Amino acid sequence: MTEEPSAPPSPEPESTEPTEQAEPVAPAESEKFAALRSKLLNSSNDTGTVAEALGRRNFLFALVWIALIALAFTFEQLKTRWEYFTVERKNQQTQELAADERKEVTTESGLKYTEIKLGAGPIPQRGDLLLLEYTLSLLDGTQVVSSRDRNQKALGFTFGNDIELSKFILPGLLEGISTMHKGGKRRLIIPPELGFGDQPFFLPEVTVAENSTLVYDVELVKVSIAPS
């Protein structure tokens, strides 16, 4: 007995009910989302801008710091060099010059002087009190008088144009010490017209003939303001 083939299943009838559609997003909610998204983006941009600004500021701060360190180092070097120069200059001023460093200078009046020691103190001004050690000699080396001899003393006087000249305070001497510094030493060669002139000068042991050229070895020991 043969089996009859089964009939194919009948297709299910299509549903005629309408399908549900997604409800459209309300405009207000869409605007809120856009605003929130924009705010987040702006916040991200602001964060990046702040980070960039901080990076630039730190970089500039580092440059300024490096510049300050370099400036301080340079200043310290200059200070050290200046101190060295000052000490060297002071040593030169307080030490006698070597023979090859001593140069003879001739002024317009005919006075000649040679710097022996520069000195580091002030230059005499009108009205200052001066104290001067001196040795007066002739060109041939004959010593006339010296403040360093026994029974002699340094010359003390007030410096000025109207100073009263004496037997040892001569025009050539005043000109010679007018540009000296306190502590300095000079050798002055004074022509007759700035010395005793055509008058002889008599001392117990030595006679200075008229029209003699004089040699003064002087040291400016003190320069001080005269009391008022």
Assign domain 99-225 to a CATH class: alpha beta
Phi, psi of 188 (to 5 degrees): -110, 130
Q: Are 104 and 215 contacting, i.e. CB atoms less than 8 angstroms apart?
A: no
Phi, psi of 124 (to 5 degrees): -60, 140
Token reading at 31:
């605007």
The predicted-structure confidence for 116-174, as pLDDT tens digits, reads as follows: 999 989 999 988 999 999 999 999 999 999 998 877 889 898 898 556 556 778 999 99
Q: Is the pLDDT of residue 115 over 70?
A: yes
How far, in Å, are 120, 132, 176, 200 from residue 226 at the CA level?
20, 15, 21, 34
**Radius of gyration over every alpha carbon of the chain, rounded to an integer in angstroms:** 52
What global pTM score does this model have? 0.58
Token reading at 42:
């702006």
Q: Domain residues of the chain, as ranges?
A: 28-94, 99-225
Distance CA 216, CA 171 (A): 12
Q: Is the pLDDT of residue 72 over 90?
A: no
Q: Using CA of residue 190, residue 196, residue 200, residue 203, what is the dihedral sign? A: negative
Distance CA 34, CA 27 (A): 11
How many CA atoms are closer than 13 Å to the CA of 34, on its beta-carbon side?
7
